[in-house]
Amino acid sequence: MNLNLGPVSFVEGFSLQFPEDVCANCGTRSEVFVAEQNTKVTRFLLLGGSEISFALPVSSCTHCVDSLHRRPLSLGNKALITGMMAGACATVLLMWASMGSTKTGFLADHPFLVSALAGLGLSWAWFRRHRAQAPQSSYYQPVRIRRLKRQFVDGTIEAMHLAFTNKDYRLAFVRANREAIRKGQLAAADA
């Protein structure tokens, strides 16, 4: 194994090769270089959690290299962003109302409904701005770790399930790792 993936140990015979000639995000093959994508995997256990960081050597072009630093947002994160924007709108509206600017009318009668709608609108605009530009496949990290299978006793990694936002990159990954995929040590899905 010729990768430095961080302070983790893998089961003997584990091998993992990342393609180097195709951008993991947009799929271009011109001016591609290998950069580091830092990916954290958190596992929640009965008495707390554990987190492992992987420095994945992911190939990218200059247009997509920034995406390697953007962690994908979970549904919970998106809900949190929407909630915070709605909260900010509510604060502004209530301050405005308390200054006596909206004694009557729909705004004054329904500050929370208006805030929720404004929060949704702002979030929609925010997510629209933060989306992939064609031909990119994602605004966020193009390689995801979906699942780690670890030995119960010492945490040695037995299998890693990855997902990719770019289909061409996934196919190149599958070609480079046929043996490990056949053995069940790796799996490659579309993100």
DSSP class of residue 71 equals P
Q: Which is nearer to Zn ion, 33 or 106 (CB)?
A: 33
Residues 64-83: x/- map of binding to Zn ion (CB under 5 A)? Answer: x-------------------
Tokens of 177: 């790792």
User: Residue 188: which of 142, 150, 151, 157 has the closest Cα?
Assistant: 142
Tokens of 3: 């990768």
Stretch that binds Zn ion, among 14-22, 59-67, 171-179, 180-188 (CB under 5 A): 59-67
Please report whether residue 160 would count as binding Zn ion according to CB under 5 A.
no
Stretch that binds Zn ion, among 61-69, 79-87, 91-99, 116-124 (CB under 5 A): 61-69
Tokens of 55: 């420095």
Distance CA 108, CA 187 (A): 55
Please report whether residue 143 would count as binding Zn ion according to CB under 5 A.
no
Please report whether residue 26 would count as binding Zn ion according to CB under 5 A.
yes
CA distances from 124 to 60, 101, 109, 136 (A): 28, 28, 25, 20
Gyration radius (Cα) of the chain, Å: 22
Please report whether residue 37 would count as binding Zn ion according to CB under 5 A.
no
Stretch that binds Zn ion, among 60-68, 118-126, 139-147, 164-172 (CB under 5 A): 60-68
Binding residues for Zn ion, per CB under 5 A?
23, 25-26, 61, 64
